[in-house]
């Protein structure tokens, strides 16, 4: 300690005296808070204040032009009366319920497929991964064209195989399934995480199982699945939070239609705020989104989190 | 985890697949089956790309033709120049690069600064604030759309780059703080101690010791920040009103909302937006994989 004080030029200047007089613990604390200060200010500016603003808006009616008007619980009551909201919730839930589990399975499937030592496997890894980095806007336009009823590739293949063309984006029952197919194409990110998980499983486990006469399925069931379960859980949480906030495809490909079948919740918030200029109601919708995500996250952590196998708990 | 630090193409396959010399008949059949599946899935996954490029080079007549040709004939390269001049994409590109560049600077410097505090300083309240970092990781951005818009419009920032550029300077996002902190913790503390004995301040340790050593993590953070600025649509369509301020993403989206049938131009512009991302991926593959995996595992 003594050496440090000596080597610092600061004590010579009187302005630094208060600093060197502080105890080491004090100085550490002050320095620590200086380092994390940008984050603390960020939380204050971009989280705490917005949450308070949102709270204020929830109890007001405001179209940005005239002054906000206090309306009490009216915006929250509207949540229960709004005929469009159930359609929006249905679209969001349906998309999440289909795209998340299918995305997990598909990502896991691809990861197993590329976890092989065949020559040229790196080409396949690249091909499988690349769709997941395509920018959202370009992705939306590409798939709007893929699903085009008359001239799209998907219907061309279906008709080529003898089927009838399908009005993917015009049929209210098929628009969300079409988006699920679109989302599966971008499973490369979860694939890479699964691949890393698969390669983190020690070979000795498989070798021991082979000696015991375990077949391919037994190894998958009793070694790979338990060992990979934390990765499944992680991908599930991330996938669920992301899919619940899906926006770009609904906005660009179908514009919420047909018959509001793709009016995802974030799109509905966006429209309420910036097209209908109902700031108060948009704030109420934001709380609804937050509440749903919070409740579902708690449920996922409680009921699935404990079924995850951790090799070294608490590490 | 060492394998992950290498490019995606170099990850050593685990010994799930037995070596050729020891393969039984059953194993060989399994291998053929795997190869067949790989080829099948590879075709499906690459088809949209090929379809995109092929359609973007077709003329107005050929693109609306059934059954579709896979090879454009004649090849309309001018679709690209037409698409990119149909809207001022040069200007959009400049806007996007200004925003993305400032975002990258903000995130690289402030997230590492904050991460140093969390990784290397010991002070009361640190773990609480790190808990806040993790909590904001799960905070849905969607609930902030409306109130942040109100705030920025009060500040008179609407239709400027400020709402897209200023917030990252405050911590650079929980995701990035977390990633850099994890990396900082792998750097031996002795290096910092040696510097401190030589009279280096904490800021000096952060700037001269940790920053140069953390370069791989910082490059990863920079790449992901650039990509998210390049891809972002919601921010630009909320805050950027006049077309002169549009980003590439907003410009391409406005292409769509015109609702004309110029699919050839739309797809050419889409391809042009994808190409830089693919190039970035090929040049910086290992940082991509590292970023995905570092945030994915070893939480």
Per-residue pLDDT of chain B (299 residues; tens, 9 = 90+): 333 444 454 445 554 555 555 667 888 888 889 999 999 999 999 999 999 999 889 887 788 877 787 888 888 888 888 888 888 899 999 999 999 999 999 999 999 999 999 999 889 999 999 999 988 888 888 889 999 999 999 999 999 999 999 999 998 888 899 989 988 988 888 888 889 898 888 899 999 999 999 998 899 899 989 999 999 999 999 999 998 999 999 999 887 765 566 888 888 999 999 999 999 988 888 887 777 776 654 43
Q: How many CB atoms lie within 10 A of CB A258?
A: 16
Distance from CA of A163 to the nearest CA of B (A): 14
Place of tokens 């579902």: A296
**Chain B residues inside the 8 Å CB shell of A251:** 233, 253
Query: Can you give the pLDDT at residue A315?
Result: 38
Query: Can you give the pLDDT at residue B285?
Result: 82
Contacts of B259 (CB under 8 A, 6+ apart): none
Query: Can you give the pLDDT at residue B1?
Result: 36
The CA distances from residue A307 to A197, A301, A310, in Å, are: 17, 10, 9
Secondary structure (3-state) at A51? helix
How many degrees, rounded to 5, is the angle at CA B22 between CA B20 and CA B25?
A: 85
Q: Token digits for A302? A: 């409680």
Residues 72-101 of chain A with CB under 8 A from chain B are none
How many degrees, rounded to 5, is the angle at CA B1 between CA B214 and CA A306?
A: 110
Assess contact for A200 and B1: CB atoms under 8 A: yes
Which burial class, exposed, middle or buried, applies to A83 when counting CB atoms under 10 A from its CB (0-12, 13-18, 19+)?
A: exposed
For chain A of 315 residues, list the mean pLDDT of each consecutive stretch of 10. Answer: 46 68 86 94 93 93 86 90 94 96 95 88 90 93 91 90 90 94 93 89 90 88 89 88 92 89 95 92 94 91 80 52
Give Rg (Cα) of chain B.
Answer: 24
Q: Give the whole-angstrom CA distance, residue B37 versus residue B33.
A: 6
CB contact under 8 A, A46 and B55: no
**Chain A residues inside the 8 Å CB shell of B1:** 196, 200
Assess contact for B236 and B243: CB atoms under 8 A: no
Q: Token digits for A27? A: 């100085």
Distance from CA of A173 to the nearest CA of B (A): 23
Place of tokens 């108060």: A280
Query: Can you give the pLDDT at residue B79?
Result: 86
Q: Look up the ipTM and state it.
A: 0.85
Cis previous bond, B88, omega within 30: no
Q: Give the whole-angstrom CA distance, residue A223 versus residue A70.
A: 60
Nearest to A185 among B48, B177, B256 (CB): B48
Query: Can you give the pLDDT at residue B61?
Result: 78
Q: Give the whole-angstrom CA distance, residue B72 versus residue B58.
A: 5
Residues 17-56 of chain A with CB under 8 A from chain B are 28-29, 31-36, 38-43, 45-47, 49-54
CB contact under 8 A, B142 and A32: no
Q: Where are the alpha helices (DSSP H) in chain B?
A: 25-56, 60-63, 78-86, 89-106, 112-120, 126-137, 145-154, 162-165, 174-184, 189-197, 202-204, 211-213, 215-231, 234-239, 248-257, 263-283, 285-296
What DSSP line would sit under A11-43, residue for residue? GGSGGGHHHHHS-HHHHHHHHHHHHHHHHHHHH
CB contact under 8 A, B144 and A50: yes
Q: Give the whole-angstrom CA distance, residue A123 versus residue A25.
A: 55
Which burial class, exposed, middle or buried, applies to B18 when counting CB atoms under 10 A from its CB (0-12, 13-18, 19+)?
A: middle
CB contact under 8 A, A128 and B55: no
Query: Can you give the pLDDT at residue A312?
Result: 59
A275-287 as b/e: b if 16+ CB within 10 A: eeebbbbbbbbbb
CB contact under 8 A, B233 and A136: yes
Q: Is A158 at the interface with chain B, CB within 8 A?
A: no
Place of tokens 């808006």: A57
pTM for this one?
0.87
**Chain A residues inside the 8 Å CB shell of B202:** 31, 35
Nearest to A39 among B114, B206, B267 (CB): B114
Q: Give the whole-angstrom CA distance, residue B19 versus residue B261.
A: 54
Residues 249-278 of chain A with CB under 8 A from chain B are 251-252, 265-266, 269-270, 273-274
User: Could you tell me how far CA B178 lies from the centroid of its own chain?
Assistant: 16
Q: Give the whole-angstrom CA distance, residue A227 versus residue A110.
A: 17
Place of tokens 């292409």: B255
């Amino acid at each position: 300690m003594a050496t440090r004080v000596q080597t610092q030029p600061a004590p010579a200047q009187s302005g630094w005296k208060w600093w060197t007089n502080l105890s080491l613990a004090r100085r550490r604390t002050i320095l620590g808070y200086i380092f994390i200060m940008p984050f603390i200010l960020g939380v204050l500016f971009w989280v705490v204040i917005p949450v308070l603003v949102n709270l204020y808006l929830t109890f007001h009616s405001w179209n940005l032009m005239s002054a906000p008007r206090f309306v009490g619980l009216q915006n929250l009551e509207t949540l229960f009366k709004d005929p469009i909201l159930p359609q929006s919730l249905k679209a969001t839930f349906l998309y999440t319920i289909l795209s998340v589990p299918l995305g997990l399975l598909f990502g896991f499937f691809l990861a197993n497929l590329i976890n092989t030592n065949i020559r040229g496997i790196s080409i396949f890894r690249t091909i499988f991964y690349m769709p997941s980095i395509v920018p959202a806007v370009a992705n939306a336009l590409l798939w709007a064209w893929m699903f085009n009823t008359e001239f799209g590739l998907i219907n061309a293949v279906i008709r080529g195989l003898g089927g009838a063309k399908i009005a993917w984006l015009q049929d209210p029952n098929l628009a969300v399934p079409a988006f699920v197919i679109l989302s599966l194409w971008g499973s490369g990110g979860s694939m890479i995480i699964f691949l890393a998980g698969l390669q983190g499983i020690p070979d000795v486990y498989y070798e021991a199982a082979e000696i015991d006469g375990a077949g391919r399925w037994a190894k998958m069931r009793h070694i790979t699945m338990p060992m990979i379960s934390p990765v499944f859980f992680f991908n599930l949480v991330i996938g669920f939070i992301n899919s619940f906030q899906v926006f770009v495809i609904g906005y660009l490909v179908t514009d919420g239609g047909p018959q509001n079948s793709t009016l995802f919740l974030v799109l509905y918030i966006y429209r309420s705020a910036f097209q209908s200029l109902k700031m108060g109601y948009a704030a109420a919708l934001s709380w609804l989104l937050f509440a749903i995500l919070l409740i579902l996250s708690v449920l996922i952590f409680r009921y699935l989190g404990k079924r995850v196998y951790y090799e070294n708990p608490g590490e | 985890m060492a394998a992950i630090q290498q490019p995606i193409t170099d990850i050593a396959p685990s010994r799930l697949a037995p070596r050729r010399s020891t393969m039984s008949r059953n194993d060989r059949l399994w291998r053929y089956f795997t190869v067949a599946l790989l080829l099948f899935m590879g075709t499906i996954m690459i088809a949209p790309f090929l379809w995109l490029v092929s359609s973007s080079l077709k003329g107005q007549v050929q693109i609306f033709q059934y059954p579709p040709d896979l090879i454009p004939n004649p090849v309309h390269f001018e679709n690209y120049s037409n698409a990119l001049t149909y809207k001022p994409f040069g200007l959009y590109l400049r806007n996007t690069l200004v925003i993305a560049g400032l975002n990258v600077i903000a995130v690289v410097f402030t997230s590492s600064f904050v991460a140093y505090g969390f990784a290397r300083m010991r002070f009361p309240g640190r773990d609480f604030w790190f808990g806040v970092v993790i909590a904001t990781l799960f905070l849905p951005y969607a609930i902030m759309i409306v109130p942040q818009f109100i705030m920025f419009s009060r500040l008179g920032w609407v239709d400027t780059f400020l709402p897209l550029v200023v917030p990252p300077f405050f911590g650079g996002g929980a995701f990035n703080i977390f990633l850099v902190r994890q990396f900082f913790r792998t750097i031996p503390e002795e290096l910092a101690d040696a510097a401190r004995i030589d009279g280096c301040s904490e800021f000096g340790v952060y700037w001269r010791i940790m920053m140069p050593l953390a370069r791989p993590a910082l490059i990863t953070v920079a790449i992901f920040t650039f990509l998210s600025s390049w891809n972002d649509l919601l921010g630009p369509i909320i805050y950027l009103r006049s077309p002169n301020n549009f980003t590439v993403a907003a410009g391409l989206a406005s292409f769509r909302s015109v609702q004309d049938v110029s699919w050839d131009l739309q797809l050419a512009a889409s391809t042009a937006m994808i190409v830089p991302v693919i190039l970035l991926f090929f040049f910086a593959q290992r940082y991509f994989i590292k970023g995905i995996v570092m945030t994915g595992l070893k939480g």
